[in-house]
Homo-oligomer: A and B are copies of this chain.
């Protein structure tokens, strides 16, 4: 049994995380930015669940030398990671998620499941183009478009109902259908 078992679709998540870290190292090296130990650890913790994660959830796991770090430490690292495109911020969840393709600049477009909490990253050119057109028509200069679609992912559509679901045993991290959920525990 692997050490980090919490993802929706089965895959070799340990490899998945180490890959993300390796790519991040390479990217920072090529750009002359510094992926310090703290930043690296935060990035690893963002990836750990392969789903959106809140800053304080990361903070809880951030023991450095057995000592709990300050919130600012985590936020500063997250700012760096977001600025460098290694992590996206999900505005509607106040949460962060690792970007699988940080090498090319892109805004985040996400399908966020209200049940399992997973966030699927899209990169739909039609959506981007439609937004760009609409903004241009009004003379608005875009910094960063945000597209976050809340709903129900295909997997969760096929489960009877989250709160009564017998699948809780095999997917213990399932979210309750609350109004405004947290990204994680």
Contact = CB atoms under 8 A, between A and B. Distances in A.
Interface of A: 79, 91-92, 109, 111, 113-114, 120, 122, 124, 126-127, 129-131, 133-135, 138-154, 157, 179
Given A130-B124, A134-B124, A134-B127, A148 B91 contact: yes
B131 A92 contact: no
A120 B138 contact: yes
Contacts of A109: 134
Given A91-B91, A140-B120, A149 B126 contact: no
11 contacts: A79-B179, A91-B92, A111-B140, A114-B143, A120-B140, A126-B134, A140-B149, A140-B154, A143-B152, A144-B150, A146-B148
State how many copies of this chain the complex holds: 2
A55 B119 CA distance: 27
Nearest to A179: B79
A122, A140, A145, A154 pick with most chain B CB within 10 angstroms: A140
Contact of A154 (B92, B127, B138, B145): B138
Nearest to A180: B79
Top 6 A-B pairs, shortest CB-CB distance: A139-B154, A91-B92, A126-B130, A127-B130, A142-B151, A141-B152
A127 B133 CA distance: 9
A129, A139, A147 pick with most chain B CB within 10 angstroms: A147
Contacts of A133: 126
